[in-house]
Chain A
Amino acid sequence: KAGVTQTPRYLIKTRGQQVTLSCSPISGHRSVSWYQQTPGQGLQFLFEYFSETQRNKGNFPGRFSGRQFSNSRSEMNVSTLELGDSALYLCASSLTGGGNGYTFGSGTRLTVV
């Protein structure tokens, strides 16, 4: 079966712009989570969606937002980009979230210049 698909793989944006990243989960998985990975902070939780509802949000500013569609695909948006937003953004899907195993996508590498 197809894995978790993230698009695009690479992205270069200018400070102040906004960006939208996409994640298609494994078929049948209803939970989608987003993580940010940087060399300094490691892997940090952004938010989790289940059946189009955000159930949990990490400690990130309001410039980071997301949504989930009825087919479980998810998007995350970052507005007013800052240099510090340069990171690898990883999406994970699971059947129901919480106590289930997570499968990660290949990530989107965002560079802000």
Chain B
Amino acid sequence: GAVVSQHPSWVICKSGTSVKIECRSLDFQATTMFWYRQFPKQSLMLMATSNEGSKATYEQGVEKDKFLINHASLTLSTLTVTSAHPEDSSFYICSAPRTSEGEQFFGPGTRLTVL
């Protein structure tokens, strides 16, 4: 199956700093990647769709200036949480489809803790 990696797997930062999370498709090219946020005991909520070579599409209620997404290559998308606050602490997961059939391949997730 297709492999998607994320880095880092966990990060602790101080309030007000920025954190960058990387999502890589290791053995396939992904023109589209999705970023989700998952709070404890809740479902995965789509934050944005990352499109290679163009601007990301953000879901309603997600601040595009706070959650910066860059999809500079066919194998890498990055999510930067700017001016992080404790309420941004969450589990961030990316996914990418390898084909148009719909099946998603998920990264292992990044646990962000903002102090």
The answer to whether A and B come from one shared complex is no
Interface residues of A (CB under 8 A from B): none
